[in-house]
Amino acid sequence: MHIHIAELNDGLGKELPFSFATAAAEIDATAANYAFQGPIEVTGTVTNTGAGYRVTGVIRATKHFVCDRCLDACTEAQEHAFSEVFRQGGASGEEDVTPFDGDAIELDALVRDTLLAAQPLSNICKPDCKGLCPVCGANLNHGDCGCDRFVPDPRLAALQGLFTQKDD
């Protein structure tokens, strides 16, 4: 994904809109526990700030994954905003500025990094997912299975043994 900026050099504040569609494999945005299916759409604008070029926009993607709690297959539409300053020439020495050479800004790394950094550590279908029953394996989101899932506190297990001896 290249944005040719030659026409922005005419004036300060000049803007250039852009729109791209790419696949996750093309920008190396792949992972073992989820996949982006369909096109990853990137839209935004490049603005000549005088000191560099500000690239702002939005990334839209569809993520497919298996819920870590209930093991259901899930699909999630995602939208992530980004904003980055690019400056022509070698290393700028500034932390918040990305250097580039030539008359084109390359967006592959920016899109990949924004997309991957926005992913949560665990893939959950919904915030209140109940997961699976540890006894029978039923999906508790579909209803209660009726199993006794009481797990005694291991720190108090010795006391539980005293109560069962006294009842005998």
DSSP 8-state class, residue 93: S
24 part of a folded domain: yes
Q: Structural domain tally of the chain?
A: 2
Neighbours of 61 (CB within 10 A): 22
Name the phi and psi angles at 73, rounded to 5.
Answer: -75, 135
Domain boundary among 93, 117, 141: 117
Query: What are the tens digits of pLDDT across the range 53-69?
Result: 899 999 999 999 999 99
Domain that holds residue 66: 2-117
60-64, 87-91, 149-153: segment of lowest average pLDDT: 87-91
3-7, 86-90, 148-152, 157-161: segment of lowest average pLDDT: 157-161
70 part of a folded domain: yes
Give me the torsion for CA of 88, 92, 96, 101, rounded to 10°.
Answer: 30
